[in-house]
Amino acid sequence: MMKFYLILISVCFISVDAKISEYAISRWGSLISPYNEGCIKDSGANPDDVNELLTAKFPYTKPIRDYILCIYLKLEMILPNGEFQECLTLKKGDYLTYKLLRKCIEEAKYEMDLSMKSSIFCYCILSGLREESC
């Protein structure tokens, strides 16, 4: 039985196709829907790249970083001064754990460029959600 759990854990961490829960995807989609088209337009992001954000392929381009920042600013999850809004983010992103949120804020906190800071945070959240789905 122990071998089974070890193999399962190994597969979860090795798999690049680990999926984010359907609930998290659906919830995120409803959160960003009022802002999605505007942020795509303002950032110049390719809509196909935006759609790839929730897959294992994270497009790390400047337009995608700007798109992520735009979404987080519109959702008020990050302020223009770069401060993350923990309580609001947990309330809106009810699929997140406090532990994952804090980990990702810590990873991004020293970055001064807001689009890069938002992307570091986003990538961390997506990676954490994939790990939690295993």
Number of domains in the chain: 1
By the 10 Å C-beta count (0-12 exposed, 13-18 middle, 19+ buried), 18 is classed as middle
Residue 41 lies in a domain: yes
Domain that holds residue 89: 21-132
Residue 118 lies in a domain: yes
pLDDT in tens, 23-56: 998 999 999 999 999 999 999 999 999 988 876 6
> 50-59, 73-82, 92-101, 114-123: lowest mean pLDDT where?
50-59
Residue 46 lies in a domain: yes
CATH code at position 31: 1.10.238.20
